[in-house]
Structure 1
Amino acid sequence: MFIELDLQSETPIYAQLVDQIVEGIASGELKRGDPLPSVRRLAEELGINLHTVNKSYNLLKQEGFLQVHRKQGVIVHPDGMPGVTEAFEAKLQRQLRSLAAEAAVRGMTEEAFTEESRSVYRDTITNRGGG
């Protein structure tokens, strides 16, 4: 699993980790039932605090992306990912509203914003199974 964190970013490290694991699942790099490194091992590999990794894993578990087993450790949820929930739709709208507002303030047209969104979505899906 390839994780690249930007320690200088305004985005918290735990959020970057969550995003990259979800992107790995979306791209097909991480598949149902795939094991993830233990909290301690991933923290050591990335050079970050183990509580940061634990927070990321817990959030992903709450969202239904991961399962934690005593014997198997942390794995990508074997039953597939959660569907579109009201909570997800609300989160999506909040994040898109913020991005759309910034795009508008910067002078980006609605068409350009829409096309950029499509491009990012398609690139994520196109990379499934590829690396």
Structure 2
Amino acid sequence: MFINLDFESKEPIYTQLMHQIIEGIARQELKPGEALPSVRSLAADIGINLHTVNKAYQQLKQEGFILIHRQKGVVVNPDGIPQADEAYMELLKSKLRPLVAESICRGVNADEFIEVTTNLYRDLNKKEEI
């Protein structure tokens, strides 16, 4: 998996790193049980502080995407990612709400918004057609 960070972005580096790892899992470039680089190794490879990588890994662990073992290192959750529940759907709505509101303000209609999200979903989810 290739990590590409935008150091000029307003989005924090650890968040960008998390999103790219999650995208790698969604695209099935990272498989359940697959090892990820150690905190030190990844930090050195992409030229960022190891605390930044650690913060991303800890958040991914908390959300169930990865497991961190003392002996095995960091691995994509071998049991798979926890499935969406009611709490996740509420979180999804709260994250989408400002994007929908801004899209409305910028003149994006519902069909255009749905087309953009559908295309993104298809791009990331090769295993399932909508």
Fold conserved between structures, TM > 0.5? yes
Corresponding residue pairs, total? 127
CA distance in 1, matches of 2:39, 2:85: 28
Q: How does 1:22-101 map to 2 (within 5 A)?
A: 22-101=22-101
Percent identity between matched residues is 54
Structure 1 partner of 2:18: 18
CA distance in 2, matches of 1:97, 1:57: 27
Structure 2 partner of 1:5: 5
Distance change in 2, residues 1:14/1:87 (3 Å) = farther
CA distance in 2, matches of 1:89, 1:58: 22
Deviations 1:40-66 (A, max 9, x none): 010111111111100000000001110
SS of structure 1 residue aligned to 2:78: coil
Which 5+ residue runs of structure 1 have no aligned equivalent?
none
Using the TM superposition, give the Cα deviation of residue 91 of structure 1 relative to its aligned residue in structure 2, in angstroms.
2.0
Which 5+ residue runs of structure 2 have no aligned equivalent?
none
Report the TM-score when normalising by structure 2: 0.94
Moved runs in structure 1, 4+ residues, more than 3 A? none
Q: How does 1:119-130 map to 2 (within 5 A)?
A: 119-126=119-126
